[in-house]
Amino acid sequence: MRSYQRGAGFSLRGTSVPLFTLDALPRSGTEVPRRLKSAPPSSVAALFGVLVLLAGCSKKEEKEVEAPAPVQVAAVEQATLHKIVEADAVLWARDQATVMPKIAAPVQKFLVNRGDHVKEGQLIAVLENRDLRATASANKGQLDQAEANLRTTTGATVPEAIVKARTDVQSAQQQADAAKKLFESRQNLFQQGALARRLVDEAQVQYAAAQAALSTAQEHLRVQQSVGNQEQVRTAQAQVETARGTLQSSEAQVGYSEVRSSLTGVVSDRPLFPGDMASTGQPLFVIMDISRIVARANVPQTDATAVKVGQPAVINIAGQAEGIPGKVTVVSPATDPASTTVQVWVEAPNAGEVLKPGASVRVAITVATLKDVTVVPANAIVPAEEGGSAVVTVSGSNTAHQKKVEVGIREGDKVQILSGVSPGDQVITVGALGLDDKAKVRIVQPGEKDEDEKDKDEKGGKDEKGGEKK
Name the architecture of domain 289-370: Beta Barrel (2.40)
Q: Please list the residue range(s) of the chain that carry CATH number 1.10.287.
A: 130-256
Mean pLDDT of 68-92: 90
The DSSP annotation for 132-150 comes to HHHHHHHHHHHHHHHHHHH
Mean pLDDT of 343-352: 94
Judge whether residue 176 has pLDDT over 80: yes
Residue-wise pLDDT tens digits, 186-245: 888 888 877 788 888 888 888 889 888 888 887 777 776 665 566 777 788 888 899 999
Mean pLDDT of 437-461: 69
Instruction: State residue 182's pLDDT score.
Output: 85
Q: Which amino acid belongs to residue 28?
A: S
State the pLDDT confidence band at 29, using cuts at 50, 70 and 90.
very low
326 with 348: CB under 8 angstroms? yes
Residue-wise pLDDT tens digits, 268-321: 999 999 999 999 989 999 999 999 999 999 999 999 999 999 999 999 998 888
**Angle at CA 417, nearest 5°, toward 412 and 422?**
125
Instruction: State residue 31's pLDDT score.
Output: 45
* Residue 115 to residue 283: CA distance in whole angstroms: 16
CA distances from 140 to 128, 136, 143, 156 (A): 20, 6, 5, 24
* Residue 231 to residue 223: CA distance in whole angstroms: 10
Among left, alpha and beta (phi > 0; psi -120 to 50; other), residue 347 is beta
- Rg of the chain on CA atoms, in Å: 57
State the pLDDT confidence band at 456, using cuts at 50, 70 and 90.
low
316 with 323: CB under 8 angstroms? yes
Q: Which helix (H) or strand (E) holds 79?
A: strand 77-99
CATH number of the structural domain 130-256:
1.10.287
Instruction: State residue 57's pLDDT score.
Output: 52
Instruction: State residue 121's pLDDT score.
Output: 94
Q: Please list the residue range(s) of the chain that carry CATH number 2.40.420.20.
A: 69-77+371-464
* Residue 294 to residue 314: CA distance in whole angstroms: 11
Judge whether residue 455 has pLDDT over 90: no
Instruction: State residue 22's pLDDT score.
Output: 41
Helical axes 158-192 vs 229-256, angle rounded to 10°: 160
**Which top CATH class is 69-77+371-464?**
mainly beta
Comparing 262-271, 320-329, 380-389, which segment has the lowest mean pLDDT?
380-389
Judge whether residue 444 has pLDDT over 90: no
Instruction: State residue 362's pLDDT score.
Output: 95
Specify the higher pLDDT residue, 309 or 402: 309
* Residue 356 to residue 449: CA distance in whole angstroms: 48
Q: Please list the residue range(s) of the chain that carry CATH number 2.40.30.170.
A: 289-370
Instruction: State residue 461's pLDDT score.
Output: 52
State the pLDDT confidence band at 87, using cuts at 50, 70 and 90.
very high
